[in-house]
Structure 1
């Protein structure tokens, strides 16, 4: 059966987190998808894990890899986009465990002329480490009471974990957060992403996902807010690749995109 959505998962040397994410996609209510892993230069243990997990999960996995050359997520995502075999692309990260209805909600809300903007719920490090395969397969890790018992602090943001139906619709309506292309939870039509030439490969850590969304908006694609409808748990990790230089460089590129209303980057999938 022809797949009709590609799930792009970015990763780099985090096999323990990636394994939990792959298990999460094995619980999905909507099953007609492929996974494309955008691997920014991981070591052999990630290759071994992916080969092992291919035997366990019901969906096909395509592993796209390039040599480690520092943080080059934009480059590997462009390669992953080209490797997708479907018309519709959902993007998330190798540290985000999806709720069982995650893919289903992206399919439900997708619409021509739009991209979808989701959110995430961040977990503390101890809880991130302690979530097991059984917790994911049973759905316990999406039970707010269970999460609280295991170290998650009480917060209004906890509403995100189990919001469904009218509650999620209402919270999507109320949220003051502007919908944007988020690397951990966003989706759009492949033809639209290709039309703006994908990610700007000059950009390293800090806002490259949002810049892609800003060019989609300049191209005429509208963002749709679904942060309370598509839920994923963000596992904690250090961010050693965040440097002031990369953040400043990216800020300047985004400023130019906004001021000039740029739709296309010369530094994307197609190189000049």
Structure 2
């Protein structure tokens, strides 16, 4: 009488897995279903799978190990999932233990097993490979993998409890050094891509982690007792640690920056701000003037600047229909092509290290609030009175500065006193703000419903916090000097306060009318010629041509 099938699905990711697949599938013959999620096999993997009646094959492009394992579980016929790799063979005792666990049917229980790792056909009980206890059997309605692309793990819920299965899983870890190197390259690249702009790295950190890894695996974890095999494995582990931090360092170092400058009919101040942008110790990849309906004088300033700028200059413009800073910024965000965006007002003269200071603390999921130094009316009038408009020498020692301590640039102190992780929207000012473009797109940018002065930056910050971002106050660094101007009309403040309160009360993460209204137009303009690009203004009212040098 044939044995009753285990009412569970064995879920497996495969790609060019022909080497051990037949042995693995034969060991899984008692399962009612074995689901293979293939992401591009070109060898005999699918041919081998077709020879087993309980095997079902699905296909999907690779999105990361965590997401792929969750996808395989969602496609499975049964809610009980046994997660297994294509080079792992369960023994008969483990299969019997899985059968008993599934028949017991306690969905809150997650079951672990013992995996025996082999190298070159030899069981290795060193180098961190033993003991290797892993959670692999679970009910998909009560547990699942996290979404990490590499080094994924099964996440347990508050009601889950853990029990162990009898038996073992034989793991053909690597046949030779070539396999170790291939896996090291794959995992270190995925690690760097997953943590790009989220974690810091350096050459020193890479060397330190690599050296520490070798000492730990070869000596503390007894690799030395396995002769050449132990030395090879320990060295490969050390190389993996070294390269994942080196790759992360290079990924982070290549971060691109767009400087977005909002302006409205203040060409003299804008000219100074643009000059300070070119005096940076670290230039942005592009400068975008977000124009809220200025007249031809601003167009002329931008045109002259674009002809001498060593970086790309873009000018986004919208019809003058009152104060619509939120919409103006969204047009610029849509036109931006860089990873990290810094937004300033068109009357903020930048310290030479302004962009470098922002980059030093820029992280995915972080909203940077930079420092604003106020300049008195008298000093502002003196600066703007010079017809040649030379770049003023502004510092802690300059005259006409209010709250003078804010003008100090002390990078070490800045790191010590930085208030990280808070989620307060009060005190947020978009006149000196930085964030990653992807983070802004995730909340649909600023809210176009804001018309008139006030609260559009606080409401944007609130949605960012609701979506998981955290605030970082950049004190004693990222300094910008705010030229004096008359106070803006605040008649729209009650209406804007109501929009902010609605976002706070409803915990909104996205606004209905945001940057997505301009993304399609920006994408269409992205194919313009590199030397002379045309920036079209909405409503078809006029065109501006800016030279890209």
Q: What's the TM-score once normalised by structure 1's chain length?
A: 0.87
Q: Name the structure 1 match of 2:445.
A: 198
Q: Name the structure 2 match of 1:44.
A: 296
CA distance in 1: counterparts of 2:276 and 2:282, whole angstroms: 12
Q: Name the structure 2 match of 1:186.
A: 433
Q: Name the structure 2 match of 1:255.
A: 501
Q: What's the TM-score once normalised by structure 2's chain length?
A: 0.45
- Which has the larger displacement, 90-99 or 158-167? 158-167
State the secondary structure of the residue aligned to 2:280: coil
State the secondary structure of the residue aligned to 1:141: coil
- Residue 162 of structure 1 pairs with residue 387 of structure 2: no
Q: Name the structure 2 match of 1:209.
A: 457
CA contact (8 A) 2:257 2:342 kept: yes
CA contact (8 A) 1:115 1:221 kept: yes
- Pairwise mapping of residues 1-272 of structure 1 onto structure 2 (< 5 A)? 4-131=256-383, 133-136=389-392, 140-142=393-395, 144-145=396-397, 147-148=398-399, 151-152=400-401, 157-170=403-416, 172=418, 181-204=428-451, 205-240=453-488, 242-244=489-491, 246-270=492-516
The structure whose RCO (Cα within 8 Å, separation 6+) is larger is: 1
CA distance in 2: counterparts of 1:46 and 1:135, whole angstroms: 18
Q: Name the structure 1 match of 2:105.
A: none
Summarize deviations over 1:218-262 as a string: whole Å, max 9, x none: 00011111132110000011134x223x11111111111111111
- Which has the larger displacement, 254-263 or 163-172? 163-172
How far did 1:87 drift? 1.6
Summarize deviations over 1:103-131 as a string: whole Å, max 9, x none: 00111110122121112011112211222
Alignment gaps of 5+ in structure 2: 1-253, 518-549
How far did 1:172 drift? 3.9
State the secondary structure of the residue aligned to 1:37: strand
- Which has the larger displacement, 54-63 or 19-28? 54-63
Alignment gaps of 5+ in structure 1: none
How far did 1:170 drift? 4.5
- Which has the larger displacement, 199-208 or 177-186? 177-186
Larger of the two Rg values belongs to structure: 2
> Over aligned residues, Cα RMSD in angstroms?
2.2
How far did 1:93 drift? 0.5
CA contact (8 A) 2:287 2:311 kept: yes
How far did 1:160 drift? 1.6
CA contact (8 A) 1:171 1:228 kept: no
Higher strand share goes to which structure? 2
